[in-house]
Amino acid sequence: MLRSLSRQLLVSVMRQRWYCTVTDGETRLANILKVKFPGAVEIKVDDISGGCGAMYEVHIVADEFKGKRTVMQHRMVNEALAEEVKQMHGIRINTQPTQEKADS
């Protein structure tokens, strides 16, 4: 019974995370990225560890990535978050350069 109750509690906590607003860690990482990538048109940071801050997923669309290969874009993000990454279990990075407006 205790094991069943623990499992129910864990599921309940994980469900609550989905309804939660932004965590402190998400806000902190997003603010760092906004400073490091002022040409960004989109920055999204999600705590994918259930809210404990052990793993994040980062998505950035920025001018700074134009003309750079994906590996260099990811290196730039890793360098921007170097101190924070040291305290994480892992990070998923998705980057892309901003798209130029199509001529009309």
For the chain, the structural domain boundaries read: 22-97
Tens digits of residue pLDDT in 24-60: 899 999 999 999 999 999 999 999 988 788 899 999 9
Single pTM value for the model: 0.74
Please tell me the predicted confidence (pLDDT) of residue 77.
97
Domain 22-97 - what CATH class? alpha beta
Q: What is the pLDDT of residue 52?
A: 84
Angle at 69 between CA 68 and CA 73, to 5 degrees: 75
Rg of the chain on CA atoms, in Å: 17
Tell me what pLDDT residue 28 has.
94
